[in-house]
Amino acid sequence: MPDALLTAERLVRRFARSTNLLVAGRTFDVVGEDEVADELRELLSRLGARLGQGSVVFAPGSTTEILLNGDALPWRATADERIDFAGVHMPVSRGIADALREAGTVRGIRIGIAMVLEPKTAQLALLLRAAGADVAVYAHPDEIDPEVAAALRARGIPVDGNPALSGAAERDAAVAFLRRGLDLLLDDGSHLIRLAHEQDALGDLRGAAEETTSGLTPLRRMVAEGALRIPVIAVNDAPMKTAFDNRYGTGQSCVFAVADVLDTAGISVRDQPAVVIGYGPVGEGVAAHLRALGATVGVTETDPVRALRAAHDGYVTGHLRDLAPGALVISATGAPHTIDAETLRVAEIVAVAGGVPGEVDVDVAALRPVERAGAVLPHLASAGDGGLLVARGGCVNLAAAEGNPIEIMDLSFAVQLSAVAQLLASPLPAGVHPFPAEADQAVARAALAVRHEDVDVRSDAQRLAQDDWRSPRYREATA
């Protein structure tokens, strides 16, 4: 890769890694007219950024190459600093939490948060507590940042879960969390919702919110079988969640995490043949970010409509067995057994975006560390005679990075907070319920306001015409 291209890409990835902020939709000011500056402008545009006078300034080759609000990038050395920094960049969630507090909506309500525990989730817990709720947090052993957990406990919010737990001990910890006597549960993957039904640990649980596709699928099976006994708001289906969290958030964080890991081994994403498995919203984002970094991208999909969409977006489509050999393969399905042993053997590199247990069929105990210049490379392992496995087949943006960008989780958690209000507004029957369109619009308008963006309005003539169901063609013809 030419030096200018690599330098530009590394600067953008350093900004994202150092701040956990989003690139798409942000305005960047690039100083300079050399080759690196030119490559930066082109890369940022491909990633969905705007060029102009923004809060982030790239000055390649200068003493301080990246400025945020006029200062060097923040030194987020401690968990408390990361939590507080996230809070500064979550204004939409904060606004909705403030409204809950002013209305007294959640005062005294016991709310459990069962999600990946990192700084943004910690902020969600703190916002709910500030609104008056009694909050507790649970995180699975492979989804918990111990430093963030300790910081949250120090601030008075109980955190259940421990990276050292597994098997029966992990299950016992999850059941104990459910038996805290929760009123509402905010879940990720519906693991705790399903466990509560399996263990008859629903107790006083009045409802839940679920924010992933992989979590809603089994819940809808439960509905079909008459097994779901509480109302669940389908947060994942809200456009303000899926359209941003999955495409822009997971796309950036996973692809940048893979690029960071491979960079330590002297491997570039650029000019790599890459395969994205699954072309849902996550797959769309992963494919778009891979292409922005210069990879040649193919897509495999079992859904004919999504396969056709991928083809119309300019990607080669086909069978995994044909596209995987020698490629960087990224699973974006959220389904077990997506990458089998044969794919792992023939692929050059394998990673998982999103992720559920067993998405890659691999014997983790048999993985071998990868060394360069006598040093073991973090988050990269050799899978026997096959290719390299990133983050041991786990969710790459959590295992090798800090999760989705802060502004993206601000939107997702704003939807979660609004779902809490929906669950408490009036009793809902057991089942999976859509997130109300008007609440989704309210989150969007709040996000536009804090970004100083404008939304247009229909004219009176448009409103009158659209409210009249009669055909204007024939009404005018007979007048």
DSSP-derived letter for residue 365 is G
Residue 356 pLDDT class (50, 70, 90 cuts) = confident
CA 449 from chain centre, in angstroms, equals: 22
CA pair distance 212, 218, nearest whole angstrom: 11
Do the two domains 3-72 and 79-240+405-450 of this chain adopt the same fold?
Answer: yes
The answer to which of 148-157, 225-234, 461-470 has the lowest mean pLDDT is 461-470
**Each residue's pLDDT tens digit, 409-463:** 999 999 999 999 999 999 999 999 999 999 999 999 999 999 999 999 999 999 9
| Res 1: pLDDT | 47
**Each residue's pLDDT tens digit, 294-350:** 999 999 999 999 999 999 999 999 999 999 999 999 999 989 999 999 999 999 999
Whether residue 478 is predicted with pLDDT greater than 70 in this model: the reply is no
Can you give the residue ranges of every domain in the chain?
A: 3-72, 79-240+405-450, 250-399
CA pair distance 440, 414, nearest whole angstrom: 9
- Mean pLDDT, the chain, as a whole number? 95
Tokens of 79: 């968990």
- Angle, helix 251-263 to helix 281-292, in steps of 10 degrees: 50
CA pair distance 359, 334, nearest whole angstrom: 7
Among left, alpha and beta (phi > 0; psi -120 to 50; other), residue 361 is: beta
Specify the long-range contacts of residues 456-460, CB closer than 8 Å, at least 24 apart. none
| Res 68: pLDDT | 97
User: Which amino acid makes up residue 230?
Assistant: I
Whether residue 384 is predicted with pLDDT greater than 70 in this model: the reply is yes
From first CA to last CA, the distance across the chain in angstroms is 69
CB 31 within 8 A of CB 37: yes
| Res 476: pLDDT | 61
Radius of gyration of the chain (CA): 23
CA pair distance 452, 446, nearest whole angstrom: 10
DSSP-derived letter for residue 15 is H
Q: Which fold has domain 3-72?
A: Rossmann fold (3.40.50)
**Each residue's pLDDT tens digit, 187-222:** 999 999 999 999 999 999 999 999 998 899 999 999
Taking alpha carbons only, the member of 399, 406, 419, 317 closest to residue 359 is 399
DSSP-derived letter for residue 62 is S
| Res 9: pLDDT | 97
| Res 477: pLDDT | 57
The length of the chain, given as a count of residues: 479
Taking alpha carbons only, the member of 7, 56, 62, 67 closest to residue 27 is 56
Stretch 220-232: mean pLDDT: 98
DSSP-derived letter for residue 246 is I
Residue 392 pLDDT class (50, 70, 90 cuts) = very high
| Res 272: pLDDT | 87
Tokens of 60: 């390649």
Tokens of 125: 């817990």
Q: Tell me if the domain spanning 79-240+405-450 has CATH number 3.40.50.1220.
A: no
Architecture of domain 250-399: 3-Layer(aba) Sandwich (3.40)
| Res 444: pLDDT | 97
Taking alpha carbons only, the member of 264, 254, 245, 253 closest to residue 330 is 254
**Each residue's pLDDT tens digit, 80-125:** 999 999 999 999 999 999 999 999 999 999 999 999 999 999 999 9
| Res 271: pLDDT | 80
Tokens of 431: 């089942």
Stretch 182-188: mean pLDDT: 98
Whether residue 389 is predicted with pLDDT greater than 70 in this model: the reply is yes
| Res 473: pLDDT | 80
Stretch 222-236: mean pLDDT: 98
| Res 4: pLDDT | 94
Residue 479 pLDDT class (50, 70, 90 cuts) = low
The answer to which of 251-255, 348-352, 357-361 has the lowest mean pLDDT is 357-361
Among left, alpha and beta (phi > 0; psi -120 to 50; other), residue 132 is: left
Tokens of 395: 């969710």
User: Cα dist. 40→19, 25, 292 in Å?
Assistant: 18, 15, 12
CA pair distance 267, 254, nearest whole angstrom: 16
DSSP-derived letter for residue 1 is -
Stretch 266-294: mean pLDDT: 96
HSE-CB for 246 with a 13 A CA cutoff: 24
CB 330 within 8 A of CB 297: no
| Res 374: pLDDT | 85
